[in-house]
Structure 1
């Protein structure tokens, strides 16, 4: 039976479309269960009916014609109850319906199971027998397994438009929504411009050559051409990015060195393979090595290798890149977007990016955030090759892409974009104003930074300090650990840019979804593994160099705060503080006149919540990392689409934990801040202010909205709202209560787009 299931699954996954998959299912299940009939009924939500879509055993002419209401027949009974039903004498069941065109009266026994995907009943899979038959548990288990297999096929077909959404010409029949992962925040409306691979390495054949010298010369010429292209693109982005951001292109150039990918290609050519075949072989080997790595960041490098391979092949084939026309409001779409593709689009025309593959850690996502371009990545169900020239809406806040949006959805998102524009336009009047409520409560709004490009946007938005400088971002853009002097230069630039405002620098936070290519970490569960402070305490030589560089960079400025990530107990804080004081003492002995900076603890794991009072007693301040804390408290990977709906920082458990942390800090007389997505949500910011957080730190994009909202309400009203929702046990009720209350105050225009857009 297991082999039969495997065979059917393979055939179904290889089917060209939904009708072909359904045909395979009904044929194979009928044989496997030794039954007379197997049929699939799909639920049509618009008509609220189940329609016969495939059968083996009934009259084929009934397919697409026989249907029944959702509350009719045995099929409707299975669907409404969402459970498997077995009947030995189905004909005499009160729900039995007779359809002459199917010949159904001849079949006595019935076994039906619902086809369910993400809690939605998509249809019913039915097996019938002429004579009476008592289907056993094994029969039921087999059919349930097949329905689970079929649910994924149907859901994918729905998403890709095989049932609805796109016609054969690739133009939209009606609106369709595709779910990806937020890559960079923002919303955009525009026209899709699809970038196809510039050359197809997969179809390059092997070919021996007797003229190795000529092949080496061809490859050398292609190599120089691609290097020139990369340098040109980097120069083209020079005005938009600082050197640290443009250093991502250096990664490409390093891959082209003779000690890396290029050297491997040359070695294969010298063995007698022609240049194109050698390139295909080496790129394939490099891609496989990267794709099989456990670390997310390293897997992302596979897309960089593929992009370079295609560019080299295009020159070897004397092929020309696509001639693309970029209309106004271009949304660039590709299977794997690369930084080079982004650099080729005129900035005044580019409003959004969509990548079928990739993650938040891809180079293009990092650059998009630095440049403020709304981006969605990992939209795996998006039929991107059929989208060129059609209208899209991109929601970079929540990872949604809408094709051929309805007039209503277009209007709603247009309002979101316009409201963002107006808020940003009002920035000049808000920039120099502190975030003070109507009853005089001052709540400093800080920003999260990592790239130098973040500095200018933060200053334009009136940030009152840096609540989180992600030092690992600079480490991710290099091929080795930066030296102490190199780190001093990076940190000094941040500290000077914001002086005299405080700059909170987090020590190296790698591991989990942020490994370094030159410091690989292979773990089966990296989020619960060797990451954050655990790594740097195990490698004091790395930690001491970084802390020395931070403190040295603050000479004469004294606006540095040091933040320790992933602290799970007082012993880790004690060890880290010992090393920090050692580094400071070394610098004092070396003649540097510098103050000992405040040292804080990130509260991002549950154990730190329960030891918050002890940690606050030992540290100078606390800072909650809302993203990881929510993820760990709810046991939800926010990058996993299957459980993304469960990731909710307004969950009552998260709110309770936050209140405990604030109380612990206040009891010890210490400041407490919060950073992450929650701090940048205007609705959540109301509750955080009411809880007593001393500052909020967020992406600079969100700062104007939060400031605008908090300046238009009172602390007392915020505290009343917190008291009201604190008694609620359902996050959805909390969301609706807050949205309604703020809407009644006339403050709805800065609410989360999910709250205001009806999809």
Structure 2
């Protein structure tokens, strides 16, 4: 076909799609800018009705826990019917859409067998009907409906618009839980005993006061907070505005000879906005009502920007982005004058959209009682760190109203993945009881600290500790750790604003090696990338877990690798308890190159006159290729160590930080168990020991399997050390092997979990079942 024919064929489709995309974008932006969920629904039905030129647009939402729909917003029906009209999935055409979970498009709705007339809506007998389901993760959340008096079948453009809108707003509806108590929450009320659900990230119960972690460069993430001194806040805000005004004037002066006159007008527009009564006085008024200045600025900028976004003129709509830019500039000035930190609560629950390991580490451990993150999963790096610290954590709490939780009383249930906001007396008493039982269990297990991890039939299983913090040393030694099975060297890198020098690294590693001497200490080489970026070494990739991370980064930067290896070897001088561990090895060639660099670093130090004892060297088995290459890799090193966190992720193709697929992350999946057995057999053929340093080693149920597979040692979090020792001392090798053989025949991870939990209960370890993962 010739180019002219191609163009002629494509043009009608392009003409059809472009207005649709523009309309869709305008609606989504308007809904997203709404201050409350109620307003968002009203904006949605109004905009859709106008865009499609229909008589009625309505939104029905499903009541939580029931197959029942409620009219929540309408444009065209009687407003008094909102909240009153309700129908089950087997009632009416709206129920039919929810029941089928697919669009229903009718030109003669009254003629359909499922048609139901609701006189309280004040509706006439509308003929045309189009309803599309709002679905999130296979669950129908609501139905979006348009109706018209005339008899007509809605065209593909209308169906496409509504269907696409339904996809766009499904996540927002799920996050907001636009019904019942959550709806009231997002309208500004905080009922007692409100429950936000997520995923259990770290077991335990934490009762404390909310503290919001946020990026100071993100205006939208500024939390609500009361002004400590209204007069001082207003003054600081006006000074920040004046500083930005001077900044704009200085920029304009610099640009006089660079930009044409029409482009310089932009800075004049900024100056005019900075003099706007809406922006300046509106913010000051909010501060005088009691809000601290950053939150007052946030709300005013949102309102001001939304007013421009709703304008018909394209040029004026674009000014909304200028307003947000000004807001960020004022915020930066403001936070340099107004203290962004209120006093740290004695019992702090850290809350955030995406809590990072660095933010968690900023809270004094003695004050931190819980962590809750809107994103992430139980295998996220921050969840792993929380478990290492023994701090309860809830991850992937998608409907978390982060900005409203500063200073609120909270209960973190790390077992069930729940957050209770403003718990009532009965709820609080129940969780205080659970916390007391947890302390009693821990106190009881402390008696095992000095006992060896010896199975009833006399098999000794060394239990090491996973750590990245020097603060873990004393608790680990008190709990009877046999050494360090995994020291995450990236932590000292993450808390700095530059790469640590060789001398700084020597000091850190020496402290760890000396503290555990003569016990072995395993230092993993730098493992960044994935969910562990460095602020001064940005790694931006579309798929970071399958990208440039772990050994791939350090082999590409031998300067970083050699500096770290030299520091490790120097720190080991006179001690000889160092084990080096290479992460993310996926090929024999990578291991051979890493070994060559290790030998080179050792030779350099010997040339400098240092006595360098050769360390034991190991490889992490955490990608599928390493499972198949286990024997070949083991023949080139002293030991293997299975990192189950990543191994599960890669075997099951599940991003362990993505709460949307967190239910698919199953450590007891049959494929994972087969991989663990195969890796163990590869190490055995090579005559080398193999350990587990991933989170499965801290899971009481999984420990039974690892015993049954004859793994040579386990490395666990400090908080889980005595629990794992209890399991080891309760199961003979014969019993563990029999349970493992039975588990390997099962095809359902839930059945595997049930089998092992029953075994724990039968062995008198029922108290550990609650801490187990799914």
TM-score normalised by L of structure 2? 0.75
- Taking the aligned partners of 2:31 and 2:536, their CA distance within structure 1 comes to 41
State whether structure 2 residue 578 is matched by structure 1 residue 560.
yes
Aligned residue for 1:313, secondary structure, equals: coil
Which residue of the partner structure matches residue 111 of structure 2? 92
- Taking the aligned partners of 2:96 and 2:653, their CA distance within structure 1 comes to 35
Q: 1:615 aligns with which of 633, 652, 659?
A: 633
- Is the contact made by 1:192 and 1:387 (CA closer than 8 Å) also made in structure 2? yes
State whether structure 2 residue 732 is matched by structure 1 residue 732.
no
- Is the contact made by 1:681 and 1:752 (CA closer than 8 Å) also made in structure 2? no
Q: CA deviation at 1:600?
A: 0.8
Q: CA deviation at 1:619?
A: 1.8
State whether structure 2 residue 514 is matched by structure 1 residue 496.
yes
Which residue of the partner structure matches residue 717 of structure 1? 735
The change in CA–CA distance for 1:600 and 1:192 in structure 2 (over 3 A counts) is closer
- Is the contact made by 1:159 and 1:176 (CA closer than 8 Å) also made in structure 2? no
Aligned residue for 1:516, secondary structure, equals: coil
- Is the contact made by 2:60 and 2:144 (CA closer than 8 Å) also made in structure 1? yes
- Is the contact made by 1:59 and 1:102 (CA closer than 8 Å) also made in structure 2? yes
Aligned residue for 1:111, secondary structure, equals: strand
The change in CA–CA distance for 1:83 and 1:440 in structure 2 (over 3 A counts) is farther
Which residue of the partner structure matches residue 302 of structure 2? none
State whether structure 2 residue 442 is matched by structure 1 residue 424.
yes
- Taking the aligned partners of 1:364 and 1:450, their CA distance within structure 2 comes to 12
Q: 2:491 aligns with which of 473, 477, 480?
A: 473
The change in CA–CA distance for 1:314 and 1:378 in structure 2 (over 3 A counts) is farther
- Taking the aligned partners of 2:594 and 2:55, their CA distance within structure 1 comes to 71
The change in CA–CA distance for 1:340 and 1:752 in structure 2 (over 3 A counts) is closer
Aligned residue for 1:440, secondary structure, equals: coil
The change in CA–CA distance for 1:475 and 1:185 in structure 2 (over 3 A counts) is farther
Which residue of the partner structure matches residue 119 of structure 1? 138
The change in CA–CA distance for 1:490 and 1:160 in structure 2 (over 3 A counts) is farther
Q: 2:713 aligns with which of 688, 695, 698?
A: 695
Aligned residue for 2:725, secondary structure, equals: helix
- Is the contact made by 1:164 and 1:174 (CA closer than 8 Å) also made in structure 2? no
- Taking the aligned partners of 2:692 and 2:167, their CA distance within structure 1 comes to 42
The change in CA–CA distance for 1:192 and 1:531 in structure 2 (over 3 A counts) is closer
State whether structure 2 residue 84 is matched by structure 1 residue 65.
yes
- Is the contact made by 1:307 and 1:338 (CA closer than 8 Å) also made in structure 2? no
The change in CA–CA distance for 1:412 and 1:438 in structure 2 (over 3 A counts) is farther
State whether structure 2 residue 348 is matched by structure 1 residue 313.
no
The change in CA–CA distance for 1:85 and 1:525 in structure 2 (over 3 A counts) is same
Which residue of the partner structure matches residue 33 of structure 1? 52
Q: Return 120-129 or 4-13, whichever deviates more.
A: 120-129
User: What is the CA deviation profile of residues 698-726 of structure 1, one whole-angstrom value per residue up to 9, with x for unaligned ones?
Assistant: 21111122112232223333223322232
State whether structure 2 residue 525 is matched by structure 1 residue 507.
yes
The change in CA–CA distance for 1:209 and 1:335 in structure 2 (over 3 A counts) is closer
Q: CA deviation at 1:361?
A: 13
The change in CA–CA distance for 1:211 and 1:691 in structure 2 (over 3 A counts) is closer
Aligned residue for 1:659, secondary structure, equals: helix
- Taking the aligned partners of 2:683 and 2:589, their CA distance within structure 1 comes to 18
Q: CA deviation at 1:2?
A: 1.0
Which residue of the partner structure matches residue 163 of structure 2? 144
User: What is the CA deviation profile of residues 514-551 of structure 1, one whole-angstrom value per residue up to 9, with x for unaligned ones?
Assistant: 33334344434332222221222223233233223322
- Taking the aligned partners of 2:541 and 2:666, their CA distance within structure 1 comes to 27
State whether structure 2 residue 162 is matched by structure 1 residue 133.
no
- Is the contact made by 2:446 and 2:722 (CA closer than 8 Å) also made in structure 1? no
Q: CA deviation at 1:373?
A: 4.5
Which residue of the partner structure matches residue 305 of structure 2? none
Q: CA deviation at 1:592?
A: 3.8
Q: Return 20-29 or 442-451, whichever deviates more.
A: 20-29
Q: CA deviation at 1:730?
A: 2.8
Q: CA deviation at 1:10?
A: 0.9
Q: CA deviation at 1:210?
A: 14
Aligned residue for 1:41, secondary structure, equals: strand
Aligned residue for 2:635, secondary structure, equals: helix
Which residue of the partner structure matches residue 688 of structure 2? 670
User: What is the CA deviation profile of residues 355-385 of structure 1, one whole-angstrom value per residue up to 9, with x for unaligned ones?
Assistant: 7799999999999778654456786743355
- Taking the aligned partners of 2:121 and 2:581, their CA distance within structure 1 comes to 71
User: What is the CA deviation profile of residues 84-103 of structure 1, one whole-angstrom value per residue up to 9, with x for unaligned ones?
Assistant: 22233332322222223335
- Taking the aligned partners of 1:342 and 1:513, their CA distance within structure 2 comes to 14
- Is the contact made by 2:388 and 2:718 (CA closer than 8 Å) also made in structure 1? no
Which residue of the partner structure matches residue 438 of structure 1? 456
Which residue of the partner structure matches residue 325 of structure 2? none
The change in CA–CA distance for 1:402 and 1:24 in structure 2 (over 3 A counts) is same
Which residue of the partner structure matches residue 28 of structure 2? 9
Q: 1:20 aligns with which of 19, 39, 49?
A: 39
- Taking the aligned partners of 2:182 and 2:377, their CA distance within structure 1 comes to 28
State whether structure 2 residue 86 is matched by structure 1 residue 51.
no
User: What is the CA deviation profile of residues 54-111 of structure 1, one whole-angstrom value per residue up to 9, with x for unaligned ones?
Assistant: 2233333322222222222222222122222223333232222222333556223322
- Taking the aligned partners of 1:360 and 1:646, their CA distance within structure 2 comes to 12
User: What is the CA deviation profile of residues 623-649 of structure 1, one whole-angstrom value per residue up to 9, with x for unaligned ones?
Assistant: 111112222222222222222222222
Show the 5 A alignment for 1:248-327: 312-314=336-338, 322=342, 326=345
Show the 5 A alignment for 1:363-442: 373-374=391-392, 381-384=399-402, 386-387=404-405, 390-395=408-413, 400-405=418-423, 413-414=431-432, 416-442=434-460
Aligned residue for 2:150, secondary structure, equals: coil
Aligned residue for 1:58, secondary structure, equals: coil
- Is the contact made by 1:85 and 1:111 (CA closer than 8 Å) also made in structure 2? yes
- Taking the aligned partners of 1:389 and 1:489, their CA distance within structure 2 comes to 39
- Taking the aligned partners of 2:72 and 2:245, their CA distance within structure 1 comes to 58
- Is the contact made by 1:170 and 1:386 (CA closer than 8 Å) also made in structure 2? no
TM-score normalised by L of structure 1? 0.77
Which residue of the partner structure matches residue 245 of structure 1? none
The change in CA–CA distance for 1:31 and 1:306 in structure 2 (over 3 A counts) is closer
- Taking the aligned partners of 2:66 and 2:395, their CA distance within structure 1 comes to 34
- Taking the aligned partners of 1:528 and 1:363, their CA distance within structure 2 comes to 16
Cα RMSD between the aligned structures?
4.1
Q: CA deviation at 1:484?
A: 3.3
Q: Return 620-629 or 128-137, whichever deviates more.
A: 128-137
The change in CA–CA distance for 1:171 and 1:12 in structure 2 (over 3 A counts) is closer
Q: CA deviation at 1:117?
A: 2.0
- Is the contact made by 1:511 and 1:532 (CA closer than 8 Å) also made in structure 2? yes
- Taking the aligned partners of 2:66 and 2:114, their CA distance within structure 1 comes to 20
Which residue of the partner structure matches residue 456 of structure 1? 474
- Taking the aligned partners of 1:306 and 1:506, their CA distance within structure 2 comes to 43
Aligned residue for 1:314, secondary structure, equals: coil
State whether structure 2 residue 121 is matched by structure 1 residue 102.
yes
Q: 1:519 aligns with which of 530, 537, 545?
A: 537
- Is the contact made by 2:529 and 2:549 (CA closer than 8 Å) also made in structure 1? yes
The change in CA–CA distance for 1:709 and 1:321 in structure 2 (over 3 A counts) is closer
- Taking the aligned partners of 2:633 and 2:171, their CA distance within structure 1 comes to 47
User: What is the CA deviation profile of residues 718-751 of structure 1, one whole-angstrom value per residue up to 9, with x for unaligned ones?
Assistant: 2233222323333233333332342344322112
- Taking the aligned partners of 2:390 and 2:716, their CA distance within structure 1 comes to 14
Which residue of the partner structure matches residue 645 of structure 2? 627
- Taking the aligned partners of 2:186 and 2:146, their CA distance within structure 1 comes to 33
- Is the contact made by 1:361 and 1:514 (CA closer than 8 Å) also made in structure 2? no
The change in CA–CA distance for 1:427 and 1:666 in structure 2 (over 3 A counts) is same
Q: 2:61 aligns with which of 30, 42, 45?
A: 42
Unmatched 5+ stretches in structure 1: 213-279, 285-304
Q: 1:207 aligns with which of 214, 220, 242?
A: 242
Unmatched 5+ stretches in structure 2: 1-19, 213-222, 248-293, 299-328
Which residue of the partner structure matches residue 641 of structure 1? 659
